[in-house]
Amino acid sequence: MEDVSIITCRGEEILSYLDDAARLRIEVFRDYPYLYDGTEDYERTYLAHYAQSQESLFVCALSERRVVGISTALPLKEADESFQEPFLAAGEPIAEIYYLGESVLLPAFRGRGIGHAFFDHREQQARESGYRSATFCSVIRENNHPSRPANDHNHASFWNHRGYRPNGLIAHLSWKQTDVSAEVENRLEFWHRHL
């Protein structure tokens, strides 16, 4: 990571990086498995929610002052209702859970340990804020999905190495996809670990 620096932003400090986060989410999530066809207006509105939380976090990877990756987090109780609902339905105490939002990193900077740095900083923030566990979710795609590339890299081993396991809970979110003309409801499985 010699040419990449990692910085963290909390609360209103996040506002300075909303445009970068929006740009990266649209670019990175356009690829498989998310196939997300997003807009900057929606992204800015969605991401601005993080700046309203006193316990939120953006972890930013910079190369020559250019933002090449961002990872987000905030308390689950302050996250979108779509992420809270599966936990509430299962009777889980959402006030004790820190939600690790999304990590987006440009392909040229992958494989350098930045993903671990993203998790390290977010887990540290969760612990310092008194949360007992951390969770995130990942879209579910069938193995024979027509958009799946031949060199697709499954992140399950990385997440397992970090101590995360699927907890059986599923979120349902709709978004416009690059492979179809209309919005599609997607299923996302939660990965969870105790801190």
Q: What domains can be seen in the chain, in order of their start residue? A: 5-194 (3.40.630.30)
Cα–Cα distance measured from residue 194 to residue 186, given in angstroms and rounded to the nearest whole number: 26
Mean pLDDT of 143-169: 89
- Phi, psi dihedrals of residue 50, rounded to the nearest 5°: -65, -35
- Burial, 4: exposed, middle or buried (Cβ in 10 Å; 0-12, 13-18, 19+)? middle
- Position 21 scores a pLDDT of 92
pLDDT > 90? residue 2 = no
Joined together, the tokens standing for residue 191 give: 């990965």
CB under 8 Å to 18, separation ≥6 — which residues? 44, 47, 48, 51
Closest CA to 106 of 97, 98, 115: 115
Are 129 and 98 in contact by the 8 Å Cβ rule? The answer is: yes
pLDDT tier for residue 1 given thresholds of 50, 70 and 90? low
- Phi, psi dihedrals of residue 13, rounded to the nearest 5°: -60, -25
- The reported pTM is 0.93
- Phi, psi dihedrals of residue 112, rounded to the nearest 5°: -115, 10
Average pLDDT over the chain reads 93
